[in-house]
Structure 1
Amino acid sequence: MSWPSRTTVTVIVIATSLAIGMTPANAENEPAGRQQAYAAAAAEFGVPESVLLGVSYLESRWDTNAGTPSTSAGYGPMHLTDVVAANAGGTHHDHGTEDPRGDDARPALHPRPGEPDLSAPNLRTAAEAAELTGIDRRTLREDPVQNIRGGAALLADHQRDLGIRSSDPADWYGAVARYSGATDTATAAAFADEVFATMAQGVARVTDDGQAVRLAARPNLEPDTAQLDRLGLRQTNRHETECPRSLGCEWIPAPYEEFGDDYGNHDLANRPESQEIDYIIIHDTEASWETTLDLVQDPTYVSWQYSLRSADGHVAQHVKAKDVAWQAGNWYVNSKSIGLEHEGFAANPTWYTEAMYRSSAKLVRYLADKHDVPLDRAHVLGHDNVSGTIPSTVRGMHWDPGPYWDWAHYFDLLGAPFRGTGTPASGLVTIRPDYARHKPAFTGCETAGEPCAPHGSGSVILHTEPRADAPLLTDIGLHPDGSPGTMHISDHSSRMETGQRYAIADREGDWTAVWYLGQKGWFHNPKRQPTAVWSMGMVATPKRGEASIPVYGRAYPEASAYPSHVPVQAVTPLQYSLPAGQKYAVGLVTGSEYYWAVTFDATNHTVVRGKTRYVQIQFGHRAMYVNAADVDLRPSVLPL
């Protein structure tokens, strides 16, 4: 078999398109089903069908995402990249009023906006596919059939560059690794390994536009991994990384430097000896990969422990787990957590690649095992689940990774799926809508007040009464005027998220009520298509005789616990209260701590521990705390 030239390929592709009734700008004559589109493209370009399906699954899970771009400017089932204005500068840390450090013992830190760097070749693969196929970039972005053909053309071109002539899928390891767009060996290998693992195991699903696609299992597949050495990629700088060996993880350190009267961009510590790590925080970057790396290496900016790239799942570590990154906007949570930033944009109905989900899940499993962090939604939090520290900071807290992060799929990959553990009498529900079919009517993704494009979501909306046209609940932290919540994409006043647990307050037909921010909130939960599963656990309720109790955003010690050289930090209630008779799911019971670290010289940093104990509860969309002395802890089971 001889390989045709690139020019010949272009002519053949156009001729083939016309022969089967498809013009480059017309998808109406799509073959019968998406499965056939993969088979036709594989045959046309000489790519094994299993390889084409495997790569596409890792990039998009075969979804089209209605033609919207991914966080790394990728389009369609094959994630062809065409860099667009959506990749704006800055990150979510640049917006709103949140101080990422979250410690009112220090001046608020307001990071500078970053400038986007959109020059990377892996952001422009649609142009290369256009050259190979003769199909214009817009069609490659918007037409699923042409998108698949463009991806097949790229894979064939990578294989041709390697000089390998074979129809055996095992001989396509190098082309698959090249398709990832990775520039280092470990990341390219991690991507290719996941593709071939998927091919070995097999997978089947229905896509976001209703197409059934199946990749048959090939359990004895043994790829030629030695091809990786022929790609000319740089060796990954693992250096001091704390990552599983199976990940393409490199060390790109955040600077610990002094400037003027301040320093940045994190604090030295000695965790877990000094403080236990209780949380892993999931963020998105609101920026391109290059911009993200530029900012985390700026000593005047903020920091996080890890960044994950959308296109291939590449991981960069910036801050050691023992040290405290400035990432969550709550100093107590910062001092007790590890932060992961995922290249993404929460404000748009965009998507996250399977490659990134899998890398993130591997990393979180590794970190959770190493630091004894339970794999549940009380310990693996979104940035949007982190509470403000005091009343004045609540409204400015961030809301990433947003309602389009697929928590159910993520926890499936973590090996900790959300399953029901009881009956309606068990007293709790775990939020678990069908992500692909559940499409809340959000607004403001692009223009305030305008509907967002329909998109799968793990968010479930709460109403004041058991009917869809009833008002939403009120979050006085986000709406101090007492107005109800809205469906604006960033307004989670009346919104629960997949994996979160809430105490059942009532039931009526297809509607279930839970306790939420001191109110009774109703959500649609029909038997045939439930949005939650029954669960059991512990709940917190005010002690007998208490009309209501305060709720806190951090678990700080009592004043008497502070040594003379550490200023006492106020134990300030938030603007919420927990009324008598209500119950809230317990996430953990913990002691009180404050990490005093306000000087560049870390020798006098001090962990203050008090006698006060706190209970973390799922009080609203965010996790909050109550004083253990104010509540009774009981099994969630409802009385008969």
Structure 2
Amino acid sequence: MTASAALLVPLLIDRSDGTPSDQLLQDDYTAAANEYQVPRSVLMGVSYLQSRWDSHHGAPSVVGGYGPMHLVDAPRPQPPQTPQHPQGQPRAGSAGPPAARPANPPADLQQAARLTGLPAEQLRTDDAANVRGGAALLAATQRQLDKPLSPNPGDWWETVARFPGTADRASADTYANDVFDVIRRGAHRTTDAGQRVTLDANPHVHPRRPVTKGTPRPKEVDCPPDLSCSWLSAPYVQIDDDEYGNHQLADRPKDQRIDYIVIHDTEAPLASMLQTIQDPEEASWHYSIRSRDGHITQHVRIRDAAWHSGSQFVNARSIGIEHEGFLRQPDAWYTETMYRSSARLVKYLARKYGVPLDRQHIFGHDNVPAPTEDTIPDMHDDPGPFWDWRHYFDLLGAPLKATAGPDSDVVMILPDYSTHTPRFTGCTKSGVKCAPHGSSAVRLHTDPAEDAPLIQDPGRHPDGKDSTEDVNDLGSRVSAGQTFAVAERSGDWTAIWYQGHKAWFKNPQAHPTAVGARGRTVTPKEGLREIEVFGRALPEEDAYPEGVDEQPEPSPLPYTLRAGQRYVTQSRVLGSYLEKPSSDDSPSPVVQGEEAYYEIQLGHRLAYVRARDVDVVKAAATAGPAGYAARTPLR
């Protein structure tokens, strides 16, 4: 029985040859490698880049790829014709520039069927057959290149580069680099089908690479040299008498520091989004990343502010990156190639512009603070609970991990993505249970019990409705990498301070969903019973120069921080405001204030508190009678 077939029965059953039920896929790689004389490390390395060894329960990707080898079948499935934003608003456009034609055909399932003599349906649904098909394709390509079926992995460079059918030479080289990096470093994970797969590290592999010339790119593109990047400009034009769109001219980071990189998904096919970005009355963002091959298109210069987050304050300080995909269909769209391309781009940008690699600076559209109370229900939910933040930060070279003991006063949310499968509804139809899937999200309750009510979010549900398990409902959940102050512990349950309340989540020692973390927290100053929370940090009244419209006094969000509560902070900022554009050729002026704020992890979203209202407290590495270290006066 293969790994995929095992999904059809309630329990995994050992094979007749005695192979443990959770190691069947491991043996499938060995058998296929031996049968087709492909180094097993090459076969497993390619499969890891194609799918991270997952079968996705037989569901095809957006390009019709199946199984652990992501073998592409024709005809390819068509993407949804009327994509909907999570709040129900359709994105504009249905067509765009044609996608680049692959320089090499992708791993073809029909060809693999011919090479193996197996029915195409078996390659779609049976993991062992799918792996055999991938091995057969690799061997056939090696022969086509007049190369021997060598046991040395380094002799397979060109064959590996051709396997995914990438659109250009730069992408092909990057793909092969990634495969051989996996081979050198090794990998281990439990797949979505419960299979334990290990590729032992082989640091001595040195592939023989052909010498290739890089492809020239437009001067506007700000992108790592090893990525395939292009330019499609977002228009900066006059829309009305005193309005310009669809972004703002600026002079970042000279006039405004870049603090954040915001991860979005498109909730539409990329062709539609490429049409949207060219409409001056629509939103804008800095980069788009294609699902099937990770190709990057830049639209707005980094020095300029794009309109992508729903918060002018965040837009002024951030870089926005759209990823082709739908949060309800992660297996079809969130490809490993896209993850890796995105992580390369973000790592490059973070280093260049000084953005810290943590979850208060690299965050999703669903973590952007709502600027005002009335905007909270309309804030976006992407990239959603199925975006693998733990894996993403591994790729960034900044792994999310414990930095303190398990009894510390601060915890980092960190479930095991592949085995953590909380219940969600609404992936296919409202109220209908989603298929079980690995998730970065952990759900919160009012008491330490699974049948206790979910935490309520008065901003998300101002009508008084309860939080739900809907895939788009952020009202009662937290996400991998976010850090919170511990409020209480009870057996297998941990409570954190969340939007002004204690929120409980199951955190058993044997299978923790959070780990100990070091960090600083803020708490209301002694003598203050509660303090206000804001969705943006605006300058004080005296900071606005003559000729610049003064912004209204910042209005608080419908949450309060009470005495004794603590919230993690990783950033102190000064209030600022990027004025609306007033001409077609000069940067918008930045109003810089002196009022200081702390950015805090308030709930699923970030928020800001005035520095003069709080004391900073360093969390103790292990909990004890004293709890937190002494308060630190602000300077």
- The TM-score range, normalised by the shorter chain, is 0.7 to 0.9
Relative to structure 1, the CA distance from residue 71 to residue 272 in structure 2 (aligned partners, 3 Å threshold; closer, same or farther) is farther
Aligned to 2:539: 557
Please report how far the alpha carbon of residue 433 of structure 1 lies from its aligned counterpart in structure 2 after TM superposition: 1.2
Alignment of 1:292-303 (within 5 A): 292-303=273-284
Give the equivalent residue in structure 2 for 1:62.
Answer: 53
> CA 1:409–1:243 in 2, change beyond 3 Å: closer, same or farther?
same
Q: Does 1:280 align with 2:261?
A: yes
Change (3 A) 1:166 1:623: same
* CA drift at 1:391: 1.6
- CA shift for structure 1 position 166: 3.6
Aligned to 1:243: 223
| Counterpart for residue 448 of structure 2 | 466
One-letter amino acid matched to 1:491: D
User: What does residue 105 of structure 1 align with?
Assistant: none
Q: 1:632: how far off? A: 2.1
State the Cα distance separating 1:463 from its structure 2 match: 0.4
Per the alignment, residue 235 of structure 2 pairs with: 255
Contact 1:97 1:396 in 2 (8 A): no
The CA distance in 2 between the partners of 1:564 and 1:114, in whole Å, is: 45
Give the one of 372, 379, 399 matched to 2:361.
379
Once the two structures are superposed, residues 104-125 of structure 1 have per-residue CA deviations (whole angstroms, 9 ceiling, x without a partner) of xxxxxx9624348799677894
1:522 to 483, 501, 504: 504
Structure 1 equivalent of residue 160 of structure 2: 176
Q: Is the CA contact 2:107–2:165 (under 8 Å) kept in the aligned structure 1?
A: no
Partner SS, residue 342 of structure 2: helix
Match of 1:372, as an amino acid? G
How far apart are 1:329 and its partner, in Å? 1.2
| 1:238–1:46 Cα change, 3 Å | farther
Letter paired with 2:502: K
Partner of 1:532: 514
Q: Secondary structure at the match of 1:523?
A: strand
Residue equivalent to 2:178 = 194
Paired residue for 2:566? 583
Equivalent in 577, 591, 599 of residue 608 of structure 1: 591
Percent sequence identity is 48
Q: Is the 8 A contact 1:90 1:286 kept in 2?
A: no
User: SS at 1:363's partner residue?
Assistant: helix
Output the TM-score relative to the length of structure 1.
0.86
The Cα shift of 1:600 comes to 4.9
CA 1:538 to 1:119, structure 2 compared with 1: closer, same or farther past 3 Å? Answer: closer
Partner residue in 1 for 2:402: 420
Q: Deviations over 1:299-353 (max 9, x none)?
A: 4433222222333333332222211112111111111011122222211352633
More moved, 532-541 vs 311-320: 311-320
Report the AA paired with residue 190 of structure 1.
Answer: T
Change in 2 beyond 3 A, CA 1:317/1:65: same
2:210 aligns to what? 226
TM-fit CA distance, 1:148:
1.9
> CA 1:557–1:490 in structure 2 vs 1: closer, same or farther (change >3 Å)?
same
Deviation per residue, 1:513-541 (Å, 9 max, x gap): 11111111111111111111122322122
In the alignment, the residues of structure 2 paired with residue 124 and residue 50 of structure 1 have an alpha-carbon distance, to the nearest angstrom, of: 18
Task: Using the TM superposition, give the Cα deviation of residue 197 of structure 1 relative to its aligned residue in structure 2, in angstroms.
Answer: 2.0
Q: For 1:35 and 1:124, how far apart are their aligned partners in 2?
A: 21
Deviation at 1:294, TM superposition (A): 4.1
Report what 1:87 is aligned to: 79
The structure-2 alpha-carbon separation of the partners of 1:293 and 1:75, relative to structure 1 and needing over 3 Å to count, comes to farther
Matches within 5 A, 1:338-487: 338-350=319-331, 352-423=334-405, 426-487=408-469
SS in 1 for 2:261: strand
**2:486–2:497 CA contact under 8 A, matched in 1:** yes
Q: Distance in 2 between matches of 1:278 and 1:541?
A: 23
Cα drift, residue 509 of structure 1: 1.1
Which residue of structure 2 aligns with residue 48 of structure 1? 39
User: Residue type of the partner of 2:53?
Assistant: W
Query: Is the alpha carbon distance of 1:238 and 1:129 closer, same or farther for their aligned partners in structure 2, counting shifts above 3 Å?
Result: farther
Q: Answer yes or no: is the 8 Å Cα contact 1:111–1:302 preserved in 2.
A: no
Return the offset for 1:199: 1.9
**Alignment partners' CA distance in 2, 1:86 and 1:335:** 37
Counterparts in 2 of 1:466 and 1:95: CA distance versus 1, 3 Å: closer
Matched residues in 2 for 1:202 and 1:508: separation? Answer: 38
Contact 1:462-1:472 at 8 Å conserved across structures = yes
The CA distance in 2 between the partners of 1:475 and 1:560, in whole Å, is 34
Instruction: Give unpaired runs (5+ residues) of structure 1.
Output: 1-21, 23-27, 99-109
The alpha carbon displacement at 1:206 in A equals: 2.9
Q: Aligned-pair distance for 1:80?
A: 2.3
Q: Normalising to structure 2: TM-score of the pair?
A: 0.87
Following superposition, the deviation at residue 629 of structure 1 comes to 1.9
Q: CA deviation at 1:450?
A: 1.3
Structure 1 Cα separation of the partners of residues 274 and 209 of structure 2: 29
The structural deviation recorded for 1:362 is 2.3
Instruction: Give me the CA root mean square deviation.
Output: 3.1
**1:76 equivalenced with 2:70 (yes/no):** no
Deviation at 1:628, TM superposition (A): 1.6
Report the secondary structure of 2:594's partner residue.
Answer: strand
Q: Which stretch shifts more, 295-304 or 143-152?
A: 295-304
The answer (yes or no) to whether the contact 1:74–1:123 under 8 Å persists in 2 is no
**Residues 1:36 and 1:436: Cα distance change in structure 2 (over 3 Å):** same
Q: Note the C-alpha offset of 1:602.
A: 4.1
Output the CA distance in 1 between the equivalents of 2:156 and 2:466.
56
**Does the alignment pair 1:152 with 2:135?**
yes
State the 1:511 CA deviation.
Answer: 0.8
Q: CA deviation at 1:400?
A: 1.0
Q: Does 1:39 align with 2:30?
A: yes
- Inter-CA distance 418–170: structure 2 relative to 1 (3 Å threshold): closer
1:307–1:342 CA contact under 8 A, matched in 2 = yes
- 1:205 is matched with which residue: 189, 197, 212? 189
Of 287, 308, 327, which aligns to 1:306?
287
Contact 1:126/1:140 (CA < 8 Å) preserved in 2? yes
**Greater CA drift, 575-584 or 464-473:** 575-584
- The size of the alignment, in residue pairs, is 602
- Tell me whether 80-89 or 192-201 shows the greater mean CA deviation: 80-89
Does residue 508 in structure 1 map to residue 490 in structure 2?
yes
Aligned to 1:4: none
**Displacement after TM superposition at 1:398 (Å):** 0.9
Aligned position for 1:595: 578
